[in-house]
Amino acid sequence: MSATSAPEGATPTGPARAGPLSHLRVLDLSRILAAPWAGQILADLGAEVVKVERPGAGDDTRSWGPPFLKDATGQDTREAGYYLAVNRGKRSITVSIDTPEGQQIVRDLALRSDIVLENYKAGTLERYGLDQASLRALNPRLIYCSVTGFGQTGPRRDQPAYDFLIQAMGGLMSVTGERDGLPGGGPQKVGVPIVDLMTGMYTAVSVLAAVARRDRTGTGDAIDIGMLDVQVATLANQAMNHLVSGKVPQRNGNAHPNIQPQDVFACADGDMILVVGNDGQFAKLAGVLGHAEWAQDERFRTNAQRVRNIGALSALLREAFGGRARADVIAALDAAGVPSGAINTVPEVFADPQVKARGMLMSMPHPAGVEVPQVASPMRFADAPLRYDRPPPLLGEHSDEVLRELGYDEERIARLRGAGAI
C-alpha cells in the first residue's frame, strides 16, 4: 500500500493556507469525533483551526488504541489511529478551562475567531463563562456551535451519548442487520461511527450557513446540534416508508427495501453485490445472465413488481450467479452498464485503481519523524484547492505559538505553564 503526498487538486505544503475558507478562524473546544470531524472538514477547506485540549491528557481519542502511530524507532507514540483520523490541519494548544487564566485564554481566542465548536454537556461551559451567550457578548460576529448527544433542550439534554447508543436509540440498528430467523439475524451497528460522522457533516454545513448569513447581517449565531436529531433525520427513506405506510421497517439484510434486485450474491469463487436501479438496467442484467425473458415476465417487468416478488426473483438470480466466476460476471455487467462489484476489504479499497487515481490515500510528515498516512478529503475545487500542510498535532504542540499570536510574552507564558493553566 503506497500513499501519495496529496490528491490532485490539493496543495501539500507552503507558507500560507489556501482553500475556500482560508479567511476563517475556528476555535475547536471539542473532543472525540463528531465535532472534531467538522473541525477537520473546515481545516481541509483552509480554515485556521486551533484545537484546545486538556493539559497532560488531551482529546480522549489520543488514547483510543491500539493501534498507535509508531515513531522513527518503531515505538508506539501517544497518537492513536482514532485521533489521527479526525484532527489534521489543526494546531493544538493545552488550556485548563477550570482556571481563571485558562478561561481568559479561551476568551482571547474567541475574540479573534469566527466559529467556536464545542461538545461539552449542556450547561457545562456556562459555569466557566465560556457559553455561547458569554462569548457572543464579547464577539457579536461569533458563530457558536454546540454539539451534544441530545441537544440543548428536552428531558435528556444533560445526558452523555456515544455513537453506538444513538445508532440504537435513533432506529438505525432496527433496520441494519440480517433478518430475524436467518443465520446471523439481529440488530447490527454500522461498521464506522456513522452518527458521529454525519453529525460532523451537519455541523460543518450549519456553521457555514451561519457564515453566509453573517455576511449579510453582520452578526453571528448560536447553533444547537444533537446527535439523536441527526440520526432521526438520516433515517431518510426508511422513516418515510413508515410514515406513508404505517408499517414498521424491518431488518432486511443486504437487500434494499424499495429497489430490486439489490443484494449480495454468491458466485462460484466469492461474493459480489448487484445494484439494479431501474427497469432498463434489469433488462440488461437479464440479458447478461442469458435470461432475456425475465424482463418481460409480469412478476419482474417493473421495479414495483420485482419488490413484491423478490423471493422468486432472488432464487433465480442466486442460481444464475452460483455457477459463474465473479470476475467474469462483473466484467460482463460493467460492459452492459449494470452496477456491480466485489466486496472489498479495507486494504483492497486503497489498492482499487479508481481510489488510487483519485488520490484518496496520502501521507504527511509527522513530528514523530515518520510519515503519517491520511485519507484525503473527497472535496475537489478547481480554483481553490484544499491544502494539507499540518498533520494531526502533538498534544500542546502549538501552545506557545498561538499564545504569542495573542500577544502573550514569554514571561506570561512561563507563568501560565507554572500555574498549570496550559
Contacts 24+ apart (CB under 8 A), 262-266: 263/314, 264/343, 265/317, 265/318, 265/321, 266/318, 266/321, 266/322
Distance (Å, rounded) from C-alpha 284 to C-alpha 276? 10
Answer positive or negative: Cα dihedral of 17, 20, 22, 25.
negative
418 Cβ partners below 8 Å, 6+ apart?
Answer: none
Each residue of 152-173: b (16+ CB within 10 Å) or e? eeeebbeeebebebbbebbbbb
Phi-psi region of 316 (alpha: psi -120 to 50; beta: other; left: phi over 0): alpha
Active-site entry in 44, 131, 196, 263? 196
Residue 46, all three cell numbers: 483552509
What does the block give as the cell for 119?
461538545
> Which is it for the CA torsion 264, 242, 228, 181, positive or negative?
negative
Residues in Cβ contact with 275 at an 8 Å cutoff, skipping those fewer than 6 apart: 262, 339, 340
* Cα atoms in the Cβ-side hemisphere of radius 13 Å centred on 384: 12
State how far the Cα of 46 lies from the Cα of 24, in Å rounded to an integer. 8
Measure the CA–CA gap between 119 and 99, rounded to whole angstroms.
19
The answer to whether the CB of 257 falls within 8 A of the CB of 238 is yes
Active site residue 221: no
CA distance linking residue 369 with residue 354, whole number of Å: 30
Instruction: List, as one string, the DSSP characters of 273-318.
Output: EEE--SHHHHHHHHHHTT-GGGGG-TTTSSHHHHHHTHHHHHHHHH
Contact 42/115 with Cβ under 8 angstroms? yes
* CA 365/CA 389 separation, integer angstroms: 9
Residues annotated as catalytic (active site), given as ranges: 196
